[in-house]
């Protein structure tokens, strides 16, 4: 099969853009996950109070 060089470049570009988009989506979800973990730890340490005892 003899493909035009420009179509190969276009396909590579599409693949690379999709990969970059997937990485950004995973990074975003990871940040949200860590935020929720931190929030949960914070809430546990505060015990419903405005300030932690050790502060």
For the chain, the structural domain boundaries read 23-49
**Distance separating alpha carbons of residues 31 and 40, to the nearest angstrom:** 14
Burial tier of 47 (Cβ tally within 10 Å: 0-12, 13-18, 19+): exposed
Angle at 52 between CA 39 and CA 41, to 5 degrees: 25
- DSSP classification of residue 47: T
pLDDT 10s digits, 1-55: 567 989 999 999 999 999 999 999 999 999 999 999 999 998 888 887 777 666 5
H/E element, 30:
helix 5-46
Dig out the tokens for 47 from the structure.
Answer: 């015990």
Q: Any idea what DSSP says for residue 54?
A: T
- How do residues 22-36 score in pLDDT, each as one tens digit? 999 999 999 999 999
């Amino acid at each position: 099969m003899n493909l035009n060089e420009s179509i190969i470049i276009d396909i590579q570009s599409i693949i690379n853009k999709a990969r970059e988009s997937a990485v950004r989506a995973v990074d975003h979800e990871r940040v949200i996950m860590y935020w929720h973990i931190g929030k949960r730890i914070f809430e546990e340490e505060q015990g419903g109070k405005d300030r932690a005892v050790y502060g």
